[in-house]
Amino acid sequence: MSGLFASGVLPIDKPEGPTSHDVVAAVRRHLGIRRIGHTGTLDPFASGLLLLCVGQATRIAEYLSPLPKRYVAVAVLGVETDTDDRTGEPVMESEGWRTLRVAEVVAAFTEQVGERLQLPPTYSAKKVGGERAYRRARRGERVEGVPVPVTIYSLSVQRCELPEVHFEVTCSSGTYVRAIARDAGRSLGCGAHLSVLRRTGIGTLDVAAALPLERLGDAEAVAAHWLTPLEAVSHLKAVELGPEAVRRVVQGKAVDAPPGVSPDGPLALVHGGELIGIGESDDGRIRPRKVFGAAE
């Protein structure tokens, strides 16, 4: 398949079980392409949208990774685990959830909306002392995490079937949904962990348009879900370039910015329906930051 899918983005609907690295390895085997990377890890117990950048499109990963993420999740009150999810060992249990009112539970989740400092889970990929936290935790070391700034754009509780709490959340990259469940449990005084997590969207991309992993061997299905680099960065403002501007951009030279282009973020530089590069506007000029040549 490598000739057909040399450069682009493949949205995968990851099932529960495999790691994100497992998914990357499977796509490498089926496409026959080594240069593949993802734009945001999903834990093995989680499912949902995983964006894989293939070939030269790995160079646009940095413009996809920061996009807001959407999830549906289920938290279970009454048990906090060492991983903050169902895969961990209980560290605290309480029957206190039985006396809680639904309004109290909803408030414990929704009060987290906004900009906040969030303590990453002990078992996380965050680095502590130059090493992944989960590696230290697996050796039995005490991990002192550092709260990091995150943004929870929206959170709505869909239903409470206590001790289960079903909710939807849209949050910034780097936010741990299992930490949302943990913090709600601590606020309620009974503990909580995450039992279900499914990523339903990244930016404007939805899991409904993703390729189920089990259909990876179907070339027609892959083609139907394949995104060109330009389609993948559709959230960026596009600037159409003429032939002379394209020549300058591919040489790494700045070009005049069309009227109305403001310096408020990266720009998709386009010619003939293809992504030529990513640039930035400054003082009426567009300076290329990434230039794309022939597909590999």
For domain 69-202, give the fold.
Answer: Pseudouridine synthase (3.30.2350)
Whole-number Å distance between alpha carbons of 121 and 16: 20
237-291: CATH number: 2.30.130.10
What average pLDDT does the segment 150-165 reach?
98
* Max intra-chain CA distance, the chain: 71
**Per residue in 90-113, pLDDT tens?**
999 999 999 999 999 999 999 999
For residue 40, what pLDDT is reported? 84
Whole-number Å distance between alpha carbons of 247 and 3: 26
Specify the range with the lowest mean pLDDT, choosing from 2-6, 176-180, 189-193.
2-6
For domain 8-67+204-229, give the fold.
Answer: Pseudouridine synthase (3.30.2350)
- Catalytic, 82? Answer no
The answer to whether the CB of 205 falls within 8 A of the CB of 49 is yes
The answer to whether the CB of 123 falls within 8 A of the CB of 88 is yes
Map tokens 């060109």 to a residue: 228
**Per residue in 11-30, pLDDT tens?**
999 999 999 999 999 999 99
CA distances to 249, 252, 256, 272, 276 from 261, in Å: 17, 19, 10, 20, 17
Residues of the chain with CATH 2.30.130.10: 237-291
Residues of the chain with CATH 3.30.2350.10: 8-67+204-229, 69-202
**Per residue in 278-294, pLDDT tens?**
999 988 899 999 998 53
Catalytic residue among 13, 22, 43, 282: 43
> What are the residues facing 71 on neighbouring strands?
169, 199
Whole-number Å distance between alpha carbons of 287 and 136: 43
Whole-number Å distance between alpha carbons of 235 and 64: 9
**Per residue in 29-68, pLDDT tens?**
999 999 998 888 899 999 999 999 999 999 999 999 999 9
pLDDT beyond 80 at 296? no
What average pLDDT does the segment 169-178 reach?
96
